[in-house]
Amino acid sequence: MPFITVKVLEGKTPEQKRDLVKRMTAAVKESFDVDADKVFVFFEDLKPNDYGKQGELFSFKDEK
């Protein structure tokens, strides 16, 4: 505890995810004073066809 889930557009490298796990674990330790050993992080990759905003699917948007 705590359990952190990061939903992000696909394409991040394992090294980037590894880096974020380290930073997030440190962040939670600081803000919530919890044991770093009890911090869990999950990633959920979003595909461009599985994400929409402002009424339009991301893969169809000009600005990406």
27 CB-near residues (< 8 Å, 6+ apart): none
Give the three-state DSSP class for 18. Answer: helix
* Residues 4 and 25 sit within 8 Å (Cβ to Cβ): no
Q: How far is the CB of 10 from a second copy (least distance, A)?
A: 11
Distance, in Å, from the CA atom of 27 to the CA atom of 10, rounded to the nearest integer, reads 23
Looking only at residues 23 through 62 of this chain, which bind a second copy when binding is defined by CB under 8 A?
Answer: 23-28, 30-32, 34, 36-37, 39-46, 49-57, 59-60
**Judged by CB under 8 A, does residue 10 bind a second copy?**
no
Applying CB under 8 A, the residues found at the interface with a second copy are 1-9, 12, 14, 16-28, 30-32, 34, 36-37, 39-46, 49-57, 59-60
